[in-house]
Amino acid sequence: MDVNIESKQFKVAALSSNLNSFGLRNHVLIAEDGEAWQAAASHTNVRAKGEIVRAVLDRNDVPDFSYLGFEIPSKLPNAPRNVVNEVW
């Protein structure tokens, strides 16, 4: 049986320079269509600014960042086109 797993690319647009109380760094992730999320990662899963990550989409087309090592994802308002152009 062939299973088609949908996914979506996001680029790390920003990365916090400090750690939260759990030792996690916050990442802002933006897709080419402007969809934006923030999610935190421990030192073993921190991504560099500009790095592209591919998140698997669930049945409701919501990206699952957990298998990439991100925690506490939170949806942000879509990024304006000029921001998307600058990030991508």
Domain membership of residue 67 (yes or no) is yes
Band (pLDDT 50/70/90 cuts) for residue 1 is very low
Domain membership of residue 65 (yes or no) is yes
Domain range for 69 is: 7-80
Domain membership of residue 25 (yes or no) is yes
Over residues 4-17, the mean pLDDT reads: 93
Look at the chain and report how many structural domains it folds into: 1
Supply the pTM of this predicted model.
Answer: 0.90
Domain membership of residue 88 (yes or no) is no
Q: Quote the pLDDT of residue 5.
A: 81
Per-residue pLDDT tens over the stretch 76-85: 999 999 999 9
Question: What is the end-to-end Cα distance of the chain in Å, rounded?
Answer: 36
